[in-house]
Amino acid sequence: MAKLVINETKKLGKINAELYGHFSEHLGRCIYEGIYVGENSEIPNKNGMRTDVVEALKEMKIPVLRWPGGCFADEYHWKDGIGPKESRKKMINTNWGGVLEDNSFGTHEFMELCEQLGCKTYINGNVGSGTVQEMSEWFEYMTFDGVSPMADLRRENGREKPWKVDYFGVGNENWGCGGNMTPQYYGNLYRRYQTFLRDYSGKGETGKICCGANAADYHWTKEVLETAFDHTPPHLHGYMDGLSLHYYTVPGSDWDHKGSATEFTTGEWYKTLAKAEKMEELIKKHGDIMDCYDPEKKVGMMIDEWGCWFDVEPGTNPGFLYQQNTMRDALVACLSLNIFNKHCDRVKMANIAQLVNVLQSVILTEGAKMVLTPTYYVFHMFRGHQESELLDSTLTTEMVGEGEDKVPHISESVSMDAEGNILITLGNLSSEEADTVTVQFMDKKISQIKARILTGAMTAHNTFDEPDCVKEEDFTGYRITEEGDLTVELPACSVVQIEIRA
């Protein structure tokens, strides 16, 4: 039996909505077919954006979307994606699948998508193969409301008023596909490029994000920060508002043998979850380095690529990274989001990879058909944490797993919204063993409760023929004891959301 003690009087910090962010790259069928089908498609759409996908994402309460990459960002030249579609440049997507990229989805289309979704915008600029001038002009094109060549060009292309760019990433994975740079070299490039992202509105509306490390590359974090903070006025905190971190959960022996998304053993279940739990260690160790330069935590840790990465589905283009999504993915999402919540003092944004049809996506499409994945339902169940206050909570639970791959039986986080309502999210990480969780509060008397559950066999997933094999449902497996505690019976392989009304 596990025990969760909640101090509802002790708030530990705000959980930014952006912790529940997403990522859309020009990769496989994420943008084209998945999100954008064009204005003339027989698939219902608004200005080319799939109506069914947009409505599902709005229901999930998507807070921020990152675009255009990923590795694609550092070979993307934004002027190829503006103006009349018939005259836009065509290119080969050399990173992903060697297929034709016709640039019919560009800056205007992305901003249209975000306006339909009602979410914040996160754009990645091209450092790897682009110039300072190119990045500066793109930012001017998007955000300047005065008279200038780029602002005039935007107006010629049909947009009178500028857009708001909430976040701008200066490059992507510049330690790898973004240029194979050293941290010192990139650090200096970051200082230079960000200088020319002018604050045209005078409101400081755009958060600048510096390219951070891959997984446990603590050397990169230290050297980039050392370079960015060198002779920099303290109030500018290294000229950055965020430092990215990328970490993928890959259960296989190496990147060439990552393992199947749907056919796996109990041992592989626990290996996957144990690797996902490494996120906790990464946040702490990278956070310790950040504390040396930024003790007041002015710079957010932006985990803008995370999630499961398996072998592609048999018969699909290897460059499209299309994979199915099971209850294993759901528990990885639950564990990861609970970890992000617990570290909301430093982690300010996270973007699962990727939105539709790529890696651990929340939606799959096939022609006019759409399927919500188990991961979608986890995001839907957790959406109440957005902009709420993290509450102090302590969990006592045993470890489960096989061999060296052990994880806590239960994962949890707790928050309180502005009206005083409390949201508890629990995950039973065991593939076979149910567990009972006793929940105790300091003073709160429990009255109104609503609960939802997502559960199934560990390999259970939704298909286009059977789209509702795994779905969120009402949950009644709880009771209030005579002592006033809450007892929750958690089935194996389950995610549970409990709302306690004020």
Strands 207-214 and 242-249, by their bridges, are parallel
Q: Which of 109, 137, 305, 412 is catalytic?
A: 305
pLDDT at residue 311, rounded to an integer: 97
Sequence-separated (6 or more) residues with CB below 8 Å from residue 20: 61, 62, 63, 337, 350, 379, 382, 383, 385, 386
pLDDT at residue 35, rounded to an integer: 98
pLDDT in tens, the chain (502 residues): 899 999 999 999 999 999 999 999 999 999 999 999 999 999 999 999 999 999 999 999 999 999 999 999 999 999 999 999 999 999 999 888 889 999 999 999 999 999 999 999 999 999 999 999 999 999 999 999 999 999 999 999 999 999 999 999 999 999 999 999 999 999 999 999 999 999 998 999 999 999 999 999 999 999 999 999 999 999 999 999 999 999 999 999 889 999 999 999 999 999 999 999 999 999 999 999 999 999 999 999 999 999 999 999 999 999 999 999 999 999 999 999 999 999 999 999 999 999 999 999 999 999 999 999 999 999 999 999 999 999 999 999 999 999 999 999 999 999 999 999 999 999 999 999 999 999 999 887 888 899 999 999 999 999 999 999 999 999 999 999 888 889 999 999 999 999 999 7
Two tokens at 345? 């003092």
Q: Which of 25, 33, 112, 173 is catalytic?
A: 173
Task: Provide the H-helix boundaries in 203-326.
Answer: 218-229, 266-293
pLDDT at residue 444, rounded to an integer: 77
Give the closest residue to 281 by CA, choosing from 407, 373, 197, 168. Answer: 407
DSSP-assigned states of every residue in 414-458: EEE-TTS-EEEEEEE--SS--EEEEEEESSPPP--EEEEEEE--T
pLDDT at residue 100, rounded to an integer: 93
Residue 399, beta-bridge partner list: 408
For helices 51-60 and 107-117, angle between their N-to-C axes, nearest 10 degrees: 50
**398 noted as active-site residue:** no
Two tokens at 233? 């006025």
Instruction: Please tell me the distance from the alpha carbon of residue 88 to that of residue 77, in angstroms, as a whole number.
Output: 11
Two tokens at 255? 């990147």
pLDDT at residue 284, rounded to an integer: 98
pLDDT at residue 98, rounded to an integer: 87
Instruction: Determine if the pTM surpasses 0.95.
Output: yes
CA within 13 Å, CB half, 8: 19
Burial of 119 (0-12, 13-18, 19+ CB in 10 A): buried
Give the closest residue to 496 by CA, choosing from 444, 445, 423. Answer: 423
Instruction: Please tell me the distance from the alpha carbon of residue 263 to that of residue 310, in angstroms, as a whole number.
Output: 11
Q: CB 465: neighbour CB atoms within 10 A?
A: 8
pLDDT at residue 253, rounded to an integer: 84
The answer to whether 208 and 197 have CB atoms below 8 angstroms apart is yes
Residue 326, beta-bridge partner list: 461
Strands 435-441 and 486-490, by their bridges, are antiparallel
pLDDT at residue 94, rounded to an integer: 87
Task: Provide the H-helix boundaries in 49-199.
Answer: 51-60, 107-117, 132-143, 149-156, 183-195
**173 noted as active-site residue:** yes
Buried b (16+ CB within 10 A) or exposed e, 40-62: eeebebeebbbeebbebbeebbb
Return the CA Rg of the chain. 22
The answer to whether 28 and 97 have CB atoms below 8 angstroms apart is yes
Two tokens at 214? 């891959």
